[in-house]
Amino acid sequence: MKSISSQIRHARSSVSPSQIALITAAIGIAVVSRLLPHPPNFTPLAAIGLFAGAISLRPAVAIATVLLAMLVSDAFLGFHSLMPVVYGCLLVNLMIGSRLVRGSEGLQFGAASCGRIVAGSLLGSVLFFLATNFAVFVTSYPTTGTGLLACYTAAIPFFQYTVTGDLAYSAVLFGAYALCTARSASPVYVNA
């Protein structure tokens, strides 16, 4: 069984320069989107995870892309105690993308795949909302039913931005991918 570091080294060695440019661009866009003024939770990170999971042939590189984007932007924004929960939720989107969005025959576009993209995006948004706000409840609210209700109630305004951002960025990423694959004879896979 290969160690994680050897898997990352192998994945990195098999990535072409154009793929490295694409990954670097994704990280740059994700970082900039978090640093520029934006509504709370309206970032492309969950959509990047969903997209990378759906089209990625190299999970280690997809994981590294999401983690690097978060670490670089958090270096500017500040590190916090809930980072493991937030990062974990974003990494779950990779699994949602690979298991739910990508069909057994790969990512093919049509009504069914659009439905899977929307379902995957919504599932990721809901899981992020539930997990991160439960972590906030445990660390910042009285551990009572009333505290749990108060925590989730206070988080509802943020949820609308999470859902809107995840759906909008997923539409952009998957839409651009669909346009690229429609122009070529076969799907374009990112060996990331």
> Which helix (H) or strand (E) is 45 found in, with range?
helix 45-55
End-to-end CA distance of the chain: 20
For residue 185, the model assigns a pLDDT of 53
How many angstroms from the chain centroid is the CA of residue 102?
15
For residue 192, the model assigns a pLDDT of 46
Supply the DSSP symbol for 36: S
Nearest to 90, CA basis, from 78, 73, 110: 73
The β-bridge partners of 188 are none
Number of H helices, E strands in the chain: 7, 0
**Among the four given CATH numbers 1.10.530, 3.50.50, 1.10.1760, 1.10.10, the one describing domain 4-183:** 1.10.1760
3-state secondary structure of 103: strand
Structural domain boundaries in the chain: 4-183
State how far the Cα of 157 lies from the Cα of 3, in Å rounded to an integer: 42
Question: What is the reported pTM?
Answer: 0.83
pLDDT in tens, the chain (192 residues): 556 556 555 555 566 676 677 778 888 999 999 999 999 999 999 999 999 898 876 788 889 989 999 999 999 999 999 999 999 999 999 999 999 998 777 777 777 688 999 999 999 999 999 999 999 999 999 999 999 999 999 999 999 999 999 999 999 988 888 887 776 655 555 554
For residue 147, the model assigns a pLDDT of 98
Going from the C-alpha of 99 to that of each of 37, 47, 77, 117, the distances in angstroms are 33, 15, 32, 11
